[in-house]
Amino acid sequence: MNRQEQERSGDPSNAVERMYEYGYRKSNYGPDELVTDAHGNPISVVDAMMKADQASRVKTSTPHLCYYSPRIPGNTGSAIRLCAVTGTILHLIEPLGFNLKDTKLRRAGLDYHDMAHVVLHPDFDDLVRSMPDSRIIAFTAHADKLYTEVSYRPDDILLFGPEPGDIPDPMEIMAGPHVAEQVRLPMRPSLRSLNLTNCASIAIYEAWRQLGFQGGR
């Protein structure tokens, strides 16, 4: 079968090839036009995700990562790839500031199998109920303790609040009764903030280092 015959056959892998250029979705394709798995088969993004009860049973080598009400799709896309390469599970707490099919989720856009490391929760209480034995460690500029002063465990949850940095952390969540520790990353005085997923990367790799980079190479 030649290329024209393949295109006429409706093979979804051909549609995927036309959609992407240099690993990113072309601008003339809408966010909901086609979502595929690693083999080019159409799927639902939510179907590609892990369920909360599954995440609570998975044995991990790094703590879980949680974004509370993330608003910038590119940050969450980068976090999905971070979690895929480190074996971390990413928990997203609704409401989100974007559609999960947004084209700006570029790091997840081409490899939807990476979404298998993602859990979507309708609210923070759902996360707490699904992971009752986990410590929640909140990363906030209001903390006194540095992130390096914690001995991390694989079942910990590293909690980050919404971006951008000029929006205050939701302190009823970041300092709520379910939070075991509040920690911060050091910064030079008077500077506003570090990118959300840059912060998460630093935290995940410090925790993974403490745990001997188990599962890595």
Binding residues are 161, 185, 193
Nearest CA-CA partner of 207 in 116, 82, 93, 72: 82
- In sequence order, the 6+-apart residues with CB closer than 8 A to the CB of 29 are 19, 103
* Rounded-to-integer distance, Cα 46 and Cα 49, Å: 5
**Residue linked to tokens 């309708």:** 122
Binding residues for S-adenosyl-L-methionine: 161, 185, 193
* Helical (H) or strand (E) element with 64: strand 64-68
The separation between CA 149 and the C-alpha centre of its own chain, rounded to angstroms, equals 24
- In sequence order, the 6+-apart residues with CB closer than 8 A to the CB of 196 are 67, 70, 72, 75, 79, 160, 163
* Rounded-to-integer distance, Cα 116 and Cα 131, Å: 18
